[in-house]
Amino acid sequence: MLTAGSQYFFMKKHTIRRILILQTASIGDVVLATPLIEKLAEFYPESEIDFLVKQGLQQVLTGHPLLHEVLVWDKSADKYKHLRKLLKHIRSRRYDVVVNVQRFAASGFLTAFSGAALRLGFSKNPFSLFYSRRLPHHISSDPAKSQHETHRNLSLISSITDDNLHYLPKLYPSQADYAKVSQYKTQKYICIAPASLWFTKQFPAEKWIEFLKVIKEQVAVYFLGGPDDAQLCHSIIDKSGYTLSLNLAGKLSILQTAALMKDAAMNFVNDSAPLHFASAMNAPVTAIFCSTVPAFGFGPLSQDAAIIETDIALSCRPCGLHGYQRCPEGHFKCALTIPVVKLLRRIP
280-298 residue pLDDT tens: 999 999 999 999 999 999 9
How confident is the model at residue 216, as a pLDDT? 86
Cα–Cα nearest to 279, from 258, 265, 308: 258
How confident is the model at residue 14, as a pLDDT? 56
Domains of the chain (ranges, CATH numbers): 4-160 (3.40.50.2000), 175-344 (3.40.50.2000)
Average pLDDT, the chain: 94
Helix 105-112 and helix 79-93, axial crossing angle in degrees, nearest 10: 30
Pairing of β 97-100 and β 18-22: parallel
Q: Could you tell me what percent of the chain has a pLDDT over 90?
A: 90
Secondary structure class of 87 (helix, strand, coil): helix
Stated as kind and residue range, the H or E segment containing 72 is strand 69-73
Query: What's the CA gap between 141 and 293, in Å, rounded?
Result: 7
Residues linked to residue 287 through DSSP beta bridges, in sequence order:
269, 307
Pairing of β 285-288 and β 305-308: parallel
At 98-156, the pLDDT tens digits run 999 998 999 999 999 999 999 999 999 999 999 999 999 999 999 999 999 999 999 99
pLDDT bin (cut points 50, 70, 90) of residue 174 is very high
pLDDT bin (cut points 50, 70, 90) of residue 11 is very low
Residue 8 reports pLDDT greater than 80: no
The reported pTM is 0.94
Phi-psi region of 318 (alpha: psi -120 to 50; beta: other; left: phi over 0): beta
Query: What's the CA gap between 66 and 128, in Å, rounded?
Result: 27
At 216-264, the pLDDT tens digits run 889 999 999 999 999 999 999 999 999 999 999 999 999 999 999 999 9
DSSP labels for 19-64? Answer: EEEE--S-HHHHHHHHHHHHHHHHH-TTSEEEEEEETT-GGGGTT-
At 12-35, the pLDDT tens digits run 555 899 999 999 999 999 999 999
Torsion sign over Cα 106, 111, 76, 26: positive
Query: What's the CA gap between 288 and 119, in Å, rounded?
Result: 37
